Structure 1
Amino acid sequence: MQSNERFSGRSKQYVKYRPSYPPQVISHLMNTVGWTEQMRVADIGAGTGIFTKLLLDEGVNVIAVEPNEEMRQALNEQLHVYVSDQKVHANMLLVTAGSAESTELEDQSVDGIVCAQSFHWFDQKRARTEFIRVLKPQANVVLLWNQRDVDASEFVRDYESLFLRYGEQYDQVKHKQMSVKALSSFYDSEPQLVSYYNEQPLTYEQLVGRIQSSSFSISEHDVRYDAFMNDIEALFQRHEQGGVVKMIYRTDVYWGRMR
C-alpha cells in the first residue's frame, strides 16, 4: 500500500480518537522557534488538521498539504469555519492536495514547515529537495510526534506488545527510529529537540477507536480479527481504573534550519 493510502477508511476514527498535542508545543514554536502571526506555514501531511487547528487558533496562516483525499475532506469539514468565514479568518487557511515530495507550492513561498505525525511516511531525499525549494531563506522546519512512552506504565507496554503481535508492519515504524542523530542528514546539522508530557484517557470504546485509527491496525477481514478484539478487551479489563485507561505520550519536537 502506498503511504498516502494507508489512512483511507480511517478518517472518522482519526478525527474522534487521535490525541492532540500539549499546549507547550505551540508556545515553543511561537516563543523559541520564533514563529509569528504574520508568517505563512506549510503543514505537510496535515491529515485531518489536528495540528493545523492549533496553529490557526494561534493566528498563524497555514497551507495544509494533504495527499489523501479522504483525510483532506475530513480536514475541510473540521476547519470549514476558517475557509467559509472570510470576514474573521480571511486567507488564514489554504488546503492543497500536494505531497511532501511535490507540494505544488511556489518557490520560497513559506516562512516555515511543520510535519506533525507524518514525516516518517515521506521519501526523505525528495522531501528535503522540495522543502528547500519552497522555504524562504533562514526558515525553520519542525518535525513532531506523539510518541507512546513505553516506560511510563504497564498499560502502555502491554499496548505496545499487542501491536507487535498484530500490527501490519508495525515493527518497521519509522518514527520509532527518529533521533537527533538520525535527522542530522535531513537538516544538514543536528536539529534541536524538546519533549513534553502528553496523556489521553480512553474508555473502552475510545481505546478501540484509537486502535482503529492506526494505519497498522488489522481490519475485520483479517483472520486474526476476532482474536485481536478479544485481546483488546482483555487489555482494557486488565488496566482500567474508573472506566478508563491512560495512554501516555512523550511529544518529541525537532526543529532547525535546512540551509
Structure 2
Amino acid sequence: MYSEHVRQQARELRARGLTWQAVATELGVSVSAVLAWDRDPHAWARRLSECPRCGDAPLDSPAYSALLGYYLGDGHIARAARYYALRVACDTTYPGIINDVTDCITKVRPGARVFLVRRPGCINVQAHWQHWACLFPQHGRGPKHERPIVLASWQQAIVEDHPGPFLRGLFHSDGCRANNWTRRTVAGEPKIYRYPRWQFVNASQDIRELCCWALDLVEIPWRPSNTRTISVSRREAVARLDELIGPKT
C-alpha cells in the first residue's frame, strides 16, 4: 500500500504530461497503481475512511475485543504485496469457535470475505485487508512470546469496557475446561472430589498477564499453575467464567 506522498507525486507527474509508464518508472511503482490513481483520485481517501483507526469508520467494540483475544491466542498477521492477512488457527473439532471467529471478523471488517483454509489438524480463519495492522499494532516479526506484547491505550479501553469477549477469545483459543480431582481423607476414609476448572496456557508472559488483568476486571480469582498456565478453579469462579465466555463448541 503506497503512501499519500507517493500518490501525490504521481498526480503531479501526470499533470506535467508524463505517461503512466513513465510515472511508474520514475516512482518505482506498478503501472496498474498509477492507472488506478489517475482514474479514481479519491479511492485512497475512501480506503482510509474504511479504517476505524486512520479513518472514521465505526468499530464494533465487543467483536473487536473478542477478536483481539483470538489474535493474541492463536492468531497472526502476514504482510502481502497489497494487504495484510489476518489468520486465526482454529481446532477442527470446535466448529462453533470457527463460526465465532468468522462472525467477529465480519463485524470488525464489514463486507470482508472470510476464507477457511485447511491445514493439518486445524483451519485458518483468514481475511485480507490493508488496515489489519492498524487494528492490531502488536503485529511484528517472530513468535509473540519472543517479543513484547503491550496493548495500546485505546485497546485497553475497549477491553475494560468488554472484558468478557476478550476472555472468550483468549480461553477459546489457548484455553480449556477440564475436570480435575483431588483425594482427601474424611473421617478416616479416603474420598475423591472432582471439580471443573478453566486453564489458559500461553508461552508469552505478557499475554498471560493480560489474561490475568482481564480476569481481575471481572473479579474472577485465578492462580498460576506453572510457568505457562493460569488456572481458574474455585467453583463460583468457574461458574462466573462459564457465564461470561460460554462453552468451547
TM bucket normalised to smaller: under 0.3
Larger Cα Rg: Structure 1 or Structure 2? 2
Structure 1 length-normalised TM:
0.25
Q: Pick 1 or 2: higher relative contact order, CA cutoff 8 A, min separation 6.
A: 1
Structure 2 length-normalised TM:
0.26
